[in-house]
Amino acid sequence: MRNYLNYWLSMFRFAIKGGKLYYLWVGFLVALIGWGGLLYYHQLVEGLIVTHMSDQVSWGLGIANFVYFVGVAASAVILVFPAYINRNQDIKEVVLLAQQLAFTAIVMCLLFIITDIGRPERFLHMIPFMGGHLNLPSSILAWDVVVINIYFVLNLYVPAYLLYMRYMGRQTKWYLYYPLIFVLMFFAIGIQVSEAFLLSGLGSRYFWNTAILAPRFIISAFSVGPAIFYLVFLAVNYHTKLAVKSTVFDYLKSVMRVTLPINLFLLLCEIFKELYPGTLHAASAQYLYFGLKGHHLLIWFIWPATIMNVIAALLVSFKQFRNNQVLFLIACHLCILGLWIEKGMGLVIPGFIPTPLGEISEYYPNLDEVVLCLGIAAIGALMFTVIAKVTTGVLTGELRYEKKSSLKERD
């Protein structure tokens, strides 16, 4: 127990040490969190009336971000599989960072949901023994909650156990974590499938009622995840003593080279299915891509996003572009932003427009909603910054257990 307390104390001391750039970054995130917190308090007091959501469009920017970041969390499996199953040592050195990013993304998802439902106590309706009822097995929403929380716990326990053993300099016991890796991989896919079923199961929302929504979610997650990991590992290489091997970057490139074109192909299939027959069920897709009855707000989001995804796919598909570091970084940024719009605003909002009664009520987030979501993103960024700093310290040996002093931190 004493060793464990010293472990936490040493992590805290290591986390608060850093250079000027580190403190500036942390200070910026804290300021953003504070701004978002003030606006959330305003929303909590006044209600959702201060947002641009309405009876017709009851899911806004928060749910759009939730859908996107669940995919980011699930994408950690693309590094978990080769690290633990194929025993790729280069990837295994950094897989803890991917799992911690997944853990952070799930925390952000929960915060997006809590802020988007207006009053947080509504969450208690789904928690047994606290006045709520989970309504299993009939509710897809209940399954989604269960799957996401199990994935959250797995991504908390496995990296924490491995990191603690590495800090203590002890051999890991395989039966305490290895079987859970298989469970984790299953639930990584499960959180995407349950989320897709939650949307496609709403039969009156034709835009979501499609059989390829789950494959689209999985492929888009495996497209944006490598782009984020690539940028994170570059930052780790630049700002820490942990050297991420070039083979890891090559692996991420190879994943994107496959998944980005497939994501575009599935999108093309969806567009054809929606628009070619020209039925009334295509009203949401028509509104999204071409406008409907004089309403065309989302056109300004979806077409730039589609163009960004096409450019990103072209840049990663050709070797001469892919091997150019500048062009590949551009592809990563375009992919992250393009898929954020396509999977978030471009998927969630059109499902409500038009309503089943034919009403058209457009939605766009106001400044309060944008800042509140930025505040949640800042919480995730701050969590990951601190966790990644401690993790790289343990992995490089800067932070390790010493019998005499119980703590040694090398400069």
Q: What value does the mean pLDDT take over residues 187-206?
A: 91
| The predicted structure's pLDDT at residue 278 | 81
What is the pLDDT confidence band of residue 129, given thresholds at 50, 70 and 90?
Answer: confident
Percent of the chain clearing pLDDT 70 (strictly above)? 98
Angstrom distance (rounded) from CA 355 to CA 55: 10
User: Among residues 328, 401, 392, 396, which one has the least CA distance to residue 22?
Assistant: 392
209 contacts 314 by C-beta, under 8 angstroms = no
Specify which of 6-10, 220-224, 361-365 reaches the highest per-range mean pLDDT: 220-224
Q: What value does the mean pLDDT take over residues 121-135?
A: 80
| Residue 136 or residue 269, greater confidence | 269
| The predicted structure's pLDDT at residue 306 | 96
CA atoms within 13 A on the CB side of 127: 7
Per-residue pLDDT tens digits for 279-320 = 888 899 999 999 998 899 999 999 999 999 999 999 999 999
| Statement: residue 407 has pLDDT above 60 | no
Tokens of 174: 């395989």
| The predicted structure's pLDDT at residue 7 | 86
What is the pLDDT confidence band of residue 411, given thresholds at 50, 70 and 90?
Answer: very low
User: Among residues 366, 310, 378, 343, which one has the least CA distance to residue 29?
Assistant: 378
Range 160-166 contact pairs with CB under 8 angstroms and sequence separation of 24 or more: 162/96, 163/96, 163/390, 163/391, 163/394, 164/4, 164/7, 166/394, 166/395
Q: What value does the mean pLDDT take over residues 85-100?
A: 93
What interhelical angle do 283-290 and 246-275 show, nearest 10?
120
| The predicted structure's pLDDT at residue 404 | 58
User: Among residues 318, 339, 342, 322, which one has the least CA distance to residue 330?
Assistant: 322
Angstrom distance (rounded) from CA 356 to CA 205: 7
Q: What value does the mean pLDDT take over residues 79-107?
A: 94
Residue 400 pairs in a beta bridge with 408
Q: Report the chain's mean pLDDT, rounded to a whole number.
A: 91
What is the pLDDT confidence band of residue 324, given thresholds at 50, 70 and 90?
Answer: very high
Alpha helices in 170-240 (DSSP H): 178-200, 213-239
Per-residue pLDDT tens digits for 211-254 = 999 999 999 999 999 999 999 999 999 999 999 999 999 999 99
Angstrom distance (rounded) from CA 313 to CA 332: 10
* Residues in contact with 149: Cβ distance below 8 Å, sequence separation at least 6, in sequence order: none
What is the pLDDT confidence band of residue 182, given thresholds at 50, 70 and 90?
Answer: very high
Is the bond preceding residue 215 a cis peptide, omega within 30 degrees? no
| Statement: residue 98 has pLDDT above 80 | yes
